[in-house]
Structure 1
């Protein structure tokens, strides 16, 4: 996942937390947790990048709404990222301020 932006990684984590969310569900979830508006012009090109790189699968709910789901590669990337992060910030060690 080192080839992804932080926003793209956030998208992966949100998608992983839902069963085939729509773009609007993903957008709403991120906005609720970041207190920032996410424009369609930012959201959908980044989702398309994740699809094109094989991290996410995309399907159609209806003519106007797509769903997104982690691919096996996306799930493996998240697991690998967590393992890498654990080397530097183990969960059992509280963060020092």
Structure 2
């Protein structure tokens, strides 16, 4: 996962958190998080990169709609990233004001 951009990593996390999301569902989730519009020209090439890297699979729901799921490798990469982050960030945020 070290070779992914932050945007690609966020795509991976969103796909992990949803059940077989289609591209527009992923886009909606990221637009809410980033608080700005995600253009198709940014979204779909990055999804294709994750497919090419073997981190997600792309299926076809109908002629116009694809859906995305994590591969086993994608799940392993997320778990490894979480472990790595835990070695550096193990902070309780209880009681901290927003």
Does TM, normalized by the shorter one, top 0.5? yes
Which residue of the partner structure matches residue 86 of structure 1? 86
1:1-97 to structure 2, matched below 5 A, reads: 1-92=1-92
Q: Deviations over 1:42-76 (max 9, x none)?
A: 00000000000000000001111100000000000
With normalisation by structure 2, the TM-score equals: 0.92
Deviation at 1:91, TM superposition (A): 4.1
With normalisation by structure 1, the TM-score equals: 0.93
> Following the alignment from structure 2 to structure 1, what is the Cα–Cα distance between the partners of residues 84 and 18?
24
> Following the alignment from structure 1 to structure 2, what is the Cα–Cα distance between the partners of residues 39 and 7?
12
Runs of 4+ in 1 over 2 A off after TM superposition: none
CA RMSD of aligned residues (A): 1.7
Q: Deviations over 1:19-45 (max 9, x none)?
A: 100000000010011101100000000
